[in-house]
């Protein structure tokens, strides 16, 4: 009886070739597992393709609710942006995929797991480090990293095994998408000097013609309603993304530092995630005490790095989550976003519109009009500041005075 291996399966050419390669080279019985994290595509056809390639079993696991609740919410509470820009679209989906890949391996009695990542990217790190954290006893096989086949060679390889793999016209881009956004690379985007063409965009196609406002309500840092209408996380993310995305909001074009040491030009569409993070940051500004707020901002950078580097299941990330959850206890209230219509860019095409915070309120707001105003309602005791300023600057003043004197011999 052949050993079983669970393959993280996407339905594409590479992972279909992985099914055949794992059987041919190692004699594994392959169980293909696809995780639905909100990406585009028909999962019924994915199962058919896996079976056709020779998988003894093909599963689709609906992870959308779990992904939103257990991965996106913690990332949102931490305002997770890698290098201050990227909302960690792909990086956040990998740990939940690995979790279910390992769960499937346990259920079917597999001795190993496999993925279709290359040796150049970040995902190999995320898949393998996460697997090692959850199931150190399982072997890990990375076919694409080993075989060095081109796309054309993959098609020929399948054909030689008697499998005709119908391939549609290849997009010039490599795309990964889920509830949190869409990552696009390759093709013309590999030249960091060139402007991304309009055909790379799906989530931020400009269709809005009138300005609008939309209000996001949060409870303890979790978005719970849009314009006063309560809804689940998945629905809220999808509706908010569709709304702000119609203004062209959520586009990122950046050169980032991959974990393997390569600088890579990446284009992202993140309408919902960026809108939620910006709104959440703004709500924190009026609800968090100053030192807590400043220390949280320091930790957010580290939290983002852990996700990007494949360390979701690390004890440090879990400990930081405890801090983020505690810090969010009073991050409750409403944030009003204003969406302005697109304009014209220098080449005559429509440039993206603007989405920005226009107002915020909270029952836990630390903003006091009586303390902040310079008007008649001012209750701040200005005379108290004289002694405070003198004591605050005393150390620096003493330093300066000593520096101006000749040292005692």
Active site residues: 14, 94, 123, 174
Distance of CA 181 to the CA centre of its chain: 7
The end-to-end CA distance of the chain, in Å, is 88
For β-strands 57-62 and 112-114, DSSP reports them as unpaired
- Surface-to-core class of residue 5, CB atoms within 10 Å of its CB (0-12 exposed, 13-18 middle, 19+ buried): buried
Look up residue 46 and give its two tokens: 């994915």
- Placement of tokens 């041919």 in the chain: 24
d(CA 176, CA 94): 11
Name the 3-class secondary structure at 356: strand
User: Is residue 69 helix, strand or coil?
Assistant: helix
Q: What is the DSSP letter of 200?
A: G
In angstroms, the CA 391 to CA 188 distance is 59
Taking CA atoms, 171 is separated from 46, 120, 168, 199, 248, in Å, by 18, 20, 9, 10, 22
Residue 347 dihedral angles phi and psi, to the nearest 5°: -95, 10
Instruction: Return the structure tokens found at 253.
Output: 């074009």
Q: Which residues, 6 or more positions from 379, have their beta carbon under 8 angstroms from its beta carbon?
A: 370, 371
Question: Over the range 205-221, which residues count as b (16 or more CB within 10 Å of their CB) and which as e?
Answer: ebebeeebebbbbbeeb
Phi, psi of 217 (to 5 degrees): -105, 135
Helix (H, G, I), strand (E, B) or coil at 225: strand
Using DSSP, state whether 373 is helix, strand or coil.
Answer: coil
DSSP codes, 288-323: S-HHHHHHHHHHHHHHHHHHHTT-TTSHHHHHHHHH
CB 221 within 8 Å of CB 215: no
């Amino acid at each position: 009886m052949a050993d079983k291996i669970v393959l993280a399966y996407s339905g594409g050419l590479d992972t279909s070739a992985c099914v055949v390669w794992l059987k041919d080279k190692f004699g594994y019985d392959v169980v293909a597992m696809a995780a639905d994290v909100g990406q585009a595509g028909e999962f019924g056809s994915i199962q058919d393709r896996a079976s056709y390639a020779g998988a003894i079993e093909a599963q689709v696991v609906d992870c959308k609710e779990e992904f939103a609740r257990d991965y996106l919410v913690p990332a949102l509470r931490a305002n997770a942006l890698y290098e201050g820009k990227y909302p960690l679209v792909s990086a956040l989906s990998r740990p939940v995929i690995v979790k279910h890949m390992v769960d499937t391996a346990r259920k079917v009695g597999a001795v190993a797991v496999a993925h279709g990542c290359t040796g150049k990217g970040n995902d190999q790190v995320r898949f393998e480090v996460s697997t090692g954290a959850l199931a150190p006893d399982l072997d890990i096989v990375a076919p694409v990293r080993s075989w060095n086949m081109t796309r054309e060679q993959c098609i020929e390889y399948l054909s030689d095994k008697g499998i005709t793999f119908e391939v549609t016209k290849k997009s010039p881009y490599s795309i990964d998408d889920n509830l949190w956004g869409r990552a696009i690379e390759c093709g013309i985007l590999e030249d960091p000097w060139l402007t991304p063409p309009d055909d790379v965009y799906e989530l931020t196609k400009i269709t809005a013609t009138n300005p609008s406002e939309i209000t996001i309500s949060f409870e303890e840092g979790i978005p719970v309603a849009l314009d006063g209408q309560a809804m689940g996380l998945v629905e809220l993310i999808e509706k908010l993304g569709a709304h702000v995305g119609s203004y062209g909001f959520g586009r990122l074009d950046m050169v980032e530092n991959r974990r393997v040491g390569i600088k890579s030009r990446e284009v992202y569409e993140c309408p919902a995630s960026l809108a939620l993070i910006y709104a959440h940051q703004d709500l924190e500004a009026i609800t968090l005490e100053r030192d807590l707020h400043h220390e949280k901002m320091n930790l957010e950078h580290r939290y983002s790095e852990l996700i990007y580097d494949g360390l979701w299941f690390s004890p440090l990330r879990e400990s930081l989550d405890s801090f983020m959850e505690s810090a969010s206890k009073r991050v409750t209230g409403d944030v009003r976003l204003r969406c302005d219509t697109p304009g014209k860019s220098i080449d005559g095409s429509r440039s993206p519109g603007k989405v920005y915070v226009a107002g915020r309120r909270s029952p836990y707001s630390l903003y006091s009009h009586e303390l902040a105003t310079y008007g008649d309602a001012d209750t701040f005791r200005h005379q108290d500041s004289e002694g405070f300023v003198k004591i605050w600057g005393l150390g620096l003043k003493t330093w300066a005075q000593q520096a101006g004197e000749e040292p005692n011999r």
